[in-house]
Structure 1
Amino acid sequence: MHSLIAEVFEPQTWLEERVYELLELHGIRQPREIRVSELCSAYGIELWDIAGRSRAHPHPYLPGRFVIAVDHSLPLPQRREKIAHELGHLLLHEGMQPWGKDAMIDWQEAQANHFAEHLLMPYPMFGPLLENCSRYEAPSRLAAIFRVPLSLAQKRFDRLLSRMYAKGHPLIW
């Protein structure tokens, strides 16, 4: 793979910048250090295993605290993605979902999805991981290293290719 220019890995949005600051605040510099359960714990958020749809909600016994309830039957990569998504809701939206406002809910869901992508697969960590790797092998390699679903790794890698193209970098490696 051609050497990637640092500007491709620089934050391009407010949300991406905030997530990278969060990672820096917690000293997270390597994929193996991205432990969503520890991040939740750092913010006083409890993780509960449930049977059913994953969600975040106020803690039933501790005012001002929250719970992320995650379907216990999910494989680890999907579980990490769900926790990161719900953590995004809590950190960005304080767990609030207004009723009857479909456009607002769609916006919050999209924002929580992007939060999860940036948190679980930060672009600055991609560079050395993609050395000596074809663009066809990259998504599965990234999925394994970042412990995320292949679909998320593919989406994130496709966005990186789009970003490289937009910045005028070659997409052949």
Structure 2
Amino acid sequence: MMSREWRTLDSQLLQQISGLQEAAPVRLSSIAKALDVKVISTTLPKGVSGEIRPDPDRPGSYIVRVNRNDSSRRQRFTVAHEIGHYLLHRDQIGDGITDDVLYRSTLSDSREAQANRIAADLLMPKNLMDEWIENAKVLKVDDVVGFLADKFNVSEAAMKIRLGVS
């Protein structure tokens, strides 16, 4: 259930991130801190969900800015998406990547899709998904998508995509 992009990451990096994905909802702040990526919630122009840029105060480090006007679940996915760019496309960030509400940027659609898949891997890791799907069965949950979306603090749309349901 983990993406092909996830499987291309360095094994030490995967181990570091996986160690921070021990409970749902995954604490993105811990992952960002471990990667030395600063996350700031701020007001961004209308239609912009987030951006990642080099941190001018910390050479070699990056800042993710997320639109404070978006819902908290949207902000979580945006942060994970921008971390995805950091993990996969750091050499292409240049002066920065700004993503609109549809997670489109100046990068190709394929790179945006890659960042979305890594975002899903970060927020909804396979081991925790398996655990909570089983818990939903034991608890005889009627609305599994809603239950899991609440548990992982993601949108129902993101959870449906992760589960492969329409």
TM superposition score category, shorter chain reference: 0.7 to 0.9
Secondary structure of the residue aligned to 1:46 is strand
Gaps of 5+ in 2: 98-104
TM-score normalised according to structure 1 size: 0.71
Structure 1 residues 61 and 128, CA gap change in structure 2 (3 angstroms):
closer
Q: Which has the higher strand share?
A: 2
Question: For the residues of structure 1 that align with 2:91 and 2:80, how far apart are their CA atoms?
Answer: 13
Secondary structure of the residue aligned to 2:69 is coil
**Kept in 1: contact 2:53–2:93 (CA 8 A):** no
Once the two structures are superposed, the pairs formed by residues 16-95 of structure 1 within 5 Å of their partners are: 16-17=6-7, 22=13, 24-26=15-17, 27=19, 28-32=21-25, 34-52=26-44, 53=48, 54-94=50-90
TM-score normalised according to structure 2 size: 0.74
Question: For the residues of structure 2 that align with 1:137 and 1:78, how far apart are their CA atoms?
Answer: 21
Quote the RMSD (CA, aligned, Å): 3.0
**Kept in 2: contact 1:49–1:70 (CA 8 A):** yes
Secondary structure of the residue aligned to 1:63 is coil
Secondary structure of the residue aligned to 2:88 is helix
Structure 1 residues 68 and 77, CA gap change in structure 2 (3 angstroms):
same
Gaps of 5+ in 1: 1-8, 162-173
Question: For the residues of structure 2 that align with 1:156 and 1:20, how far apart are their CA atoms?
Answer: 23
Secondary structure of the residue aligned to 2:92 is coil
Once the two structures are superposed, the pairs formed by residues 117-132 of structure 1 within 5 Å of their partners are: 117-131=120-134, 132=137
Aligned length: 147
What is the identity, as a one-letter code, of the residue corresponding to 2:40? W
What is the identity, as a one-letter code, of the residue corresponding to 1:155? I
